[in-house]
């Protein structure tokens, strides 16, 4: 059995699996660490195969594989029931976990998430994203656009530096194809857990219009909120507000 490298924070009775996005390992969540309520929650931050503490673990680098590895980690931790907090590609993984194991998931918070239907991109845009694995300017362009092209360029550079330091290029490239082309929306009805979708006000990638066009038809029970003054990386842009909204929802709907 493959055991993902992971970090545990907190010691509270409510358990939360935190699933990172495409650009780098779970360390992208570091600005939220001092803001988390460790008395109420225990957070597990895994790294996917090819990333961070799991960088040496080879795999197929698919959404289904990440979901299976996350459930295996929950088993290892003795977590029969738990909640999910997923960012971007990790938001897609959170949906897959909640669909694959509906009886185990108490609630899910998806932050600027990729929907279960994937992200159909025009060929030229897909080529730009695919080139981000080796082309610095392409990668910075993808990040800047997702941030709304409104913040200091140093933020995009720091996100890219984090990605380059924590992700295997092959895994990074394969995960792009995974989150953009995977479609398990035909199984969306199996997601029964309370679901909060948080959308960055300035996110030009996972925009409010895109979320409204995809999530309500798949998950009529989903609660959708806008994160003010945030783009695609609210854990870096507005960490205190992100934690406030996520933990409020998990307190309300968690076990």
Domain hosting 59: range is: 6-253
pLDDT for 2 beyond 80: no
Residue 134 located in a structural domain: yes
b/e burial code for range 119-152 (CB count within 10 A of at least 16 → b): beeeeeebebbbbbbeeeebbbbbbbbbbbeebe
The count of domains in the chain is 1
Residue 107 located in a structural domain: yes
CATH code at position 29: 3.40.50.1820
Query: CB–CB of 82/106 below 8 Å?
Result: yes
How far apart, in whole angstroms, are the C-alpha atoms of residue 107 and residue 16?
9
pLDDT for 254 beyond 80: no
CA 3 from centre of chain: 19
pLDDT given at position 120: 85
**How confident is the model over 56-98, as pLDDT tens digits?**
999 999 999 999 999 999 999 999 999 999 999 999 999 999 9
pLDDT for 207 beyond 70: yes
Residue 188 CB coordination number (10 Å): 19
pLDDT given at position 255: 63
Residue 29 Cα distances to 32, 149, 192, angstroms: 6, 21, 26
Residue 186 located in a structural domain: yes
pLDDT for 1 beyond 90: no
Mean pLDDT, residues 225-247 taken together: 98
Query: CB–CB of 111/87 below 8 Å?
Result: yes
In the DSSP assignment, the letter for residue 115 is: P
Residue 83 located in a structural domain: yes
Residue 153 located in a structural domain: yes
Residue 1 located in a structural domain: no
pLDDT given at position 121: 87
């Amino acid at each position: 059995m493959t055991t993902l490298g992971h970090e545990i924070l907190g010691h509270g009775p409510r358990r939360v699996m935190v699933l990172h996005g495409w650009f780098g390992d779970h360390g992208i969540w570091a600005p939220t660490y001092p803001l988390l309520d460790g008395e109420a929650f225990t957070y597990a931050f895994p790294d996917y195969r090819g990333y961070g503490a799991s960088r040496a673990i080879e795999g197929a680098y698919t959404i289904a594989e990440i979901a299976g590895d996350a459930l295996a980690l929950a088993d290892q931790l003795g977590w029969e029931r738990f909640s999910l907090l997923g960012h971007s590609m990790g938001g897609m993984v959170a949906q897959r976990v909640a669909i694959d194991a509906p009886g185990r998931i108490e609630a899910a918070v998806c932050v600027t998430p990729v929907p279960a239907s994937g992200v159909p991109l025009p060929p030229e845009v897909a080529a730009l994203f695919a080139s981000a694995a080796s082309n610095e300017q392409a990668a910075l362009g993808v990040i800047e656009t997702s941030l709304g092209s409104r913040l200091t360029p140093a933020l995009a550079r720091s996100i890219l530096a984090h990605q380059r330091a924590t992700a295997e290029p092959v895994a990074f490239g394969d995960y792009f194809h995974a989150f953009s082309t995977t479609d398990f929306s035909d199984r969306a009805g199996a997601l029964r857990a309370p679901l909060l979708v948080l959308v960055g006000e300035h996110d030009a990638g996972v925009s409010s219009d895109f979320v409204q066009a995809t999530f309500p038809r798949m998950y009529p029970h989903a609660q959708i909120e806008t994160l003010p003054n945030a783009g695609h990386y609210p854990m870096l842009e507005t960490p205190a507000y992100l934690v406030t909204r996520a933990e409020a929802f998990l307190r309300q709907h968690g076990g």
